[in-house]
Amino acid sequence: MNYQQLHEAVKNGSIVGAVDTNGKKHRFFISDGGRLCRFKPRSSRRGYTVYESDLALYSQFILSKPPEMGEERLRKEYRLIEKYKRMAGEASFTNPFIRDCLGLPDLDSWRTDLVEPNSWEKDKESRPKTLYELHITTGTSIDGKVISLNRIAKKYPREIERLRESIRNRSAGTFITGRWAKFAGYDISIESDFDTVSGDFRGFLSLEYAGCGNGYYYLLINDENFIGYDVD
C-alpha cells in the first residue's frame, strides 16, 4: 500500500491504525488540514503527522470494525454519560464538577442536541455531544474509568481512612504523596480541598509515570469513588 492509498483508506474509515515493526499499535486520523496523522499515545485529540517515509515502520494495518446499529450505538454511548450523572448523585458534597455531572441531559435530550463531527471521525453525520463537548472530561482513554477508595485502601488503609474523615468533615488535606508512593505501577498522590466561602469540596487522584509528571488524573465523584477526567 502506498502513501496515497493509506491516506484515502484512513479518510474513508476502512483503516483505523497500524502495528509497527516493534509490535506497537498506532491510531490514525485525518487532521483539519487534510494531513494523515497518528494520535499521540493516550490522547484522542492530539497527534503527529505521518510522512511517506514512515510507512516502512508499519508491518500491518488495522481495519475498522463493522459499525454498530444506530440505536444500539447511541444507547451504549449514553451509558457512559449516564454513569457520571448517576455516580455524582451519590455524593454527599458538591462542587462545579458534581453540579455539571448532575446537570447532564437525559437520553432523549442528549440524542437531539447534535453537533458536527471532528475531521478525524469516520462517521460524518451530525451526532450527540461527547463527555468532552459536555465539559465533563477532557476527552480521554480513561473516560468512565472508576477507581474506588476500597481498592486503594488495600494498600493504604490509614491514608484512605483520613481521606474519608476529610470527606465527612469537609476539610482540605494531602493523604498520599511523595516519590515512594506507588499504586498499580504509578506514582500516586491524593489530596482534597475545601472552599469555606462556597462550601465546595473536591478530591483529586493522580497516577503518574515515575519521575515524569505525566499520567492519569481522576476526580472524586462521590464519597467512595474517583472517576477518569484527564490524561497528560
**What pLDDT sits at residue 119?**
80
CA 100 to chain centre: 16
Residue at 212: amino acid letter? C
CA 14 to chain centre: 25
Could you read off the pLDDT of 119-130 as tens digits, one per residue? 877 777 889 999
Question: Could you give the CA distance from residue 74 to residue 142 in angstroms, rounded to a whole number?
Answer: 19
Q: Where are the domains of the chain?
A: 3-63, 70-128, 146-231
Strand order in the sheet with 58-63: 47-49, 36-39, 25-30, 15-20, 58-63
**What pLDDT sits at residue 71?**
82
Q: Could you tell me the pTM of the whole model?
A: 0.71
For 107, the 3-state DSSP assignment is helix
Question: Could you give the CA distance from residue 145 to residue 142 in angstroms, rounded to a whole number?
Answer: 5
Residue of 49, 45, 109, 32 whose CA lies nearest to 78: 109
Question: Could you give the CA distance from residue 201 to residue 172 in angstroms, rounded to a whole number?
Answer: 8
**What pLDDT sits at residue 68?**
57
Buried b / exposed e along 50-89 (16+ C-beta atoms within 10 A): beeebeeebeebeeeeeeeeeeeebeebbeebbbbbebbe
Residue of 187, 185, 227 whose CA lies nearest to 208: 187
**What pLDDT sits at residue 118?**
82
Strands 25-30 and 47-49: unpaired
CA 6, 7, 10, 12 torsion-angle sign: negative
Residue of 62, 58, 52 whose CA lies nearest to 27: 62
Residues of the chain with pLDDT under 50: none
**What pLDDT sits at residue 45?**
79
